[in-house]
Amino acid sequence: MTRYLALDHGTKRIGVAVSDELKMIAQPLEYIPTEPHAAFLIRLKQIMAVQSEPFSEIELVSRVIPATATATAGAGEPTLAPPTA
């Protein structure tokens, strides 16, 4: 089964999480400082290069867009459209 890797970008750190096999629940892996950006990319490549489960099963990398309870994006993020029926 395949899994998703999620990146939750904050102002100081980027959270990295991996989904379960059913792609319903994400488990946090670690936080990586956002600066320097080159160091972040190196660490992310190291995480993705691991050849054991769950990393060998990753099918999609996704960036998390934080939203408030009113379905609007957090500071500096694009506005999210409400779901349609």
* pLDDT tens sequence across 13-72: 999 998 888 888 889 989 999 899 999 999 988 888 875 666 677 887 788 776 655 555
Q: With beta carbons less than 8 A apart as the criterion, state whether 50 and 58 touch.
A: no
Q: Assign domain 3-64 one CATH number from 3.10.20, 3.40.50, 3.50.50, 2.40.160.
A: 3.10.20
Instruction: Give CA angle at 47 (15, 33), nearest 5°.
Output: 40
More confident residue, 50 or 77: 50
Q: Give pLDDT, residue 80.
A: 47
**pTM (2 d.p.):** 0.66
Q: Give pLDDT, residue 33.
A: 93
pLDDT at 77 over 60: no
